[in-house]
Amino acid sequence: IDPLFVTHCPKELVPLAKQNREDNSLVDVFELIINGVEIAPGYTELNDPLVQRQRLYEQAGEETQKIDEEFLLALEHGMPPAGGFGIGIDRLSMLLTGAES
């Protein structure tokens, strides 16, 4: 089965994840990979509204993407530390049944 956890990735890839304390170019995330397939990604949510706003603008770049101001306003009102993960049921089913797709 060869399970593997990949941790820490560039903050540009997961703009909603909390920044790593030791390397501010990385975020604290994990991905459970089994047989080369991502089964469950997860991370601690970024709850600093100023940092989140900056990340969203950096991600948008010069494109005219709409920034979710309601989300940022909710963060400004306060959000406790949060995190989670999601299991891809379709991918887990593929793994358990040996299906290729």
Query: For residue range 17-53, what is the model confidence (pLDDT) as tens digits?
Result: 999 999 999 999 999 998 888 899 999 999 999 999 9
pLDDT band at 6 (very low <50, low <70, confident <90, very high): very high
Distance, C-alpha 12 to centroid of its chain: 10
Concatenated DSSP letters of 34-82: ETTEEEEEEEEBP--HHHHHHHHHHHHTTS-PPP-HHHHHHHHT-----
Across 86-93, average pLDDT: 89
Contact status, residue 53 vs residue 12, Cβ threshold 8 Å: no
Report the range of poorest mean pLDDT among 12-16, 69-73, 82-86, 97-101.
97-101
Query: For residue range 72-83, what is the model confidence (pLDDT) as tens digits?
Result: 999 999 989 899
- For residue 51, CA distances in Å to 5, 15, 48 come to 27, 10, 6
